[in-house]
Amino acid sequence: MNRILLLFRLKHISILILFSLVCISCSYSSKPTKVEILNSMTIANDYFMNKYADPGEDLIQPPSGRIWKSNIWTFGTYATGLMQLYNTNHDSRLLDYALDWGEKHNWKLSVKEMWNDHLAGQTYIDLYQLDTTKKERIEDVKSSIDAFIAVGDTQSRGFGADWNWVDASFMAMPLFAKLGAITGDDKYYKHMHALFIDMKDSIGGGLFNEEDGLWWRDADFVPPYKEPNGEDCYWARGNGWVVGALVRTLESMPDNAPNRELYESILKQMCEALYKVQRDDGMWNVSLHDPNNYGGREFSGTAFFTYGMAWGVNNGLLKADKYIPAIYRAWNTMAKECIHPNGFIGYVQSTGKEPKDGQPVTYNSVPDFEDYALGAFLLAGTEIYKMD
């Protein structure tokens, strides 16, 4: 009798556990309200703006203590998201912060040793478009890109001409698109496309794997390089950079701009590949095809993927009924389980180029820079905010 009673209780406990898991899964796939979305973004952004109250102040990178000017690519990534948040909530504090950042750098790019140094120019252009009488906001970035186009091969100018690592696509591709849009000159689209195709088809034999719909970060990771499980190495944030680059490029260029259909096609192909490897908790691993190689949720890649999927749905590239649950799952986990009550973001992989870098990635681990993941989160949140 006791055995039967025990089995009966265990059965009901199992049912309750299963029911609870189903409820949790359903709640994480549920649509967040606009108030909730704004609140999550505001908490994270306020934490950052309070901690880094002077946007022109140098950044110190732990643990080395290396000092960087704040117009580097990490802060530049944040600035892209900051502007989207401003365009959503029209909080003048955000605009003032962005303007202060640009003014303290005299609207100059960083040292211009590589494409990373050009990312700040995207936000300079955004701020110029708010007041086109302020031409000083785009003079340096435009002259730099114009010089690149005029020379053709910038090896002679001291930095690599090619986008030989996929991160460069996010740093530079939208910049060319924005310049093409504000000047009406197709030369920017032409040279942007040449660089993109070179990265896709030529660098390292081609960094895009058409079969898997994902990118190797650079030539070092093209086969025969493999992950411990024998799969190709597809680094999450590396692919996130490309997703972000494609979205920001597409939204910056007019509908009739050349090669737009190719960029849309690759974005769709990537989103389909990413959809297949999303974790049950809604996030993505640092290694997209080897979940056991430093496995666990990672915030920055997840934010970029969520951004890309949300933009794809909003612009009719992706099927809403398929992708919206994945988008909400990712957003809800980021907002509810990664962001601390004070706004600090957990589960962010520090700077690097592959799964093993910047480890460990945990809820409490502090990355070497706190800005780029926040920028990706704001891009994702502002795009989800637009959903009906």
- pLDDT single digits (tens) 283-336: 999 999 999 999 999 999 999 999 999 999 999 999 999 999 999 999 999 999
Examine the domain organization and report whether 209 and 338 are in the same domain: yes
pTM for the model: 0.93
pLDDT tier, 151 (very low <50, low <70, confident <90, very high otherwise): confident
pLDDT tier, 12 (very low <50, low <70, confident <90, very high otherwise): low
* Closest to 352 measured CA to CA, from 250, 224, 259, 241: 241
Does pLDDT of 11 surpass 90?
no
Q: What does the pLDDT look like over 42-101, one tens digit per residue?
A: 999 999 999 999 999 999 999 999 999 999 999 999 999 999 999 999 999 999 999 999
Examine the domain organization and report whether 158 and 106 are in the same domain: yes
Examine the domain organization and report whether 63 and 9 are in the same domain: no
pLDDT for residue 156: 42
pLDDT for residue 284: 99
Q: What does the pLDDT look like over 262-282, one tens digit per residue?
A: 999 999 999 999 999 999 999
* Closest to 305 measured CA to CA, from 289, 326, 325, 290: 326
Whole-number mean pLDDT of the chain?
A: 93
pLDDT for residue 9: 54
pLDDT tier, 25 (very low <50, low <70, confident <90, very high otherwise): low
Work out the average pLDDT over 341-360.
98
CB 298 within 8 A of CB 347: yes
| Most confidently modeled range among 107-121, 155-169, 353-367 | 353-367
Q: Which long-range contacts (CB under 8 A, 24 or more apart) does 182-187 make?
A: 182/125, 182/128, 182/129, 182/138, 186/258, 187/149
Domain with 26, as residue range(s), is 1-30
Examine the domain organization and report whether 258 and 156 are in the same domain: yes
Examine the domain organization and report whether 252 and 380 are in the same domain: yes
Tokens standing for residue 295: 């496995």
Q: Please tell me the distance from the alpha carbon of residue 161 to that of residue 168, in angstroms, as a whole number.
A: 11
Total domains, the chain: 2
Work out the average pLDDT over 143-168.
76
Examine the domain organization and report whether 255 and 214 are in the same domain: yes
CATH code: domain of residue 220: 1.50.10.10
Examine the domain organization and report whether 7 and 55 are in the same domain: no
Q: Which long-range contacts (CB under 8 A, 24 or more apart) does 186-190 make?
A: 186/258, 187/149, 188/145, 188/149, 189/253, 189/257, 189/258, 189/259, 190/258
* Closest to 370 measured CA to CA, from 11, 169, 74: 74
Q: Please tell me the distance from the alpha carbon of residue 31 to that of residue 26, in angstroms, as a whole number.
A: 10
Examine the domain organization and report whether 7 and 83 are in the same domain: no
Tokens standing for residue 276: 């297949």
pLDDT for residue 159: 46
pLDDT tier, 380 (very low <50, low <70, confident <90, very high otherwise): very high
ω before 360 within 30° of 0 (cis)? yes
Does pLDDT of 10 surpass 50?
no
Work out the average pLDDT over 208-226.
98
pLDDT for residue 162: 86
Examine the domain organization and report whether 342 and 380 are in the same domain: yes
pLDDT for residue 157: 43
Q: How far is CA 101 from the centre of its chain?
A: 21
Examine the domain organization and report whether 125 and 237 are in the same domain: yes
Does pLDDT of 160 surpass 80?
no
* Closest to 352 measured CA to CA, from 93, 176, 203, 167: 167
pLDDT tier, 158 (very low <50, low <70, confident <90, very high otherwise): very low
pLDDT for residue 209: 99
Q: Please tell me the distance from the alpha carbon of residue 196 to that of residue 192, in angstroms, as a whole number.
A: 6
| Among 156-160, 189-193, 358-362, the least confident range | 156-160
Tokens standing for residue 45: 């952004």
Beta strands in the chain (DSSP E): 59-61, 66-68, 208-209, 214-215
Q: Which residue has the tokens 């290396």?
A: 66
* Closest to 288 measured CA to CA, from 308, 274, 307: 274
Q: Which residue has the tokens 């809403």?
A: 320
pLDDT for residue 155: 47
Examine the domain organization and report whether 77 and 209 are in the same domain: yes
Q: What does the pLDDT look like over 181-194, one tens digit per residue?
A: 999 999 999 999 99
Q: Percentage of residues in the chain with pLDDT exceeding 70?
A: 90
Does pLDDT of 123 surpass 70?
yes
Examine the domain organization and report whether 20 and 72 are in the same domain: no
pLDDT for residue 6: 45
Q: Helix-strand-coil percent breakdown of the chain, rounded to 5?
A: 60, 5, 35
CB 189 within 8 A of CB 180: yes
Q: Please tell me the distance from the alpha carbon of residue 316 to that of residue 306, in angstroms, as a whole number.
A: 15
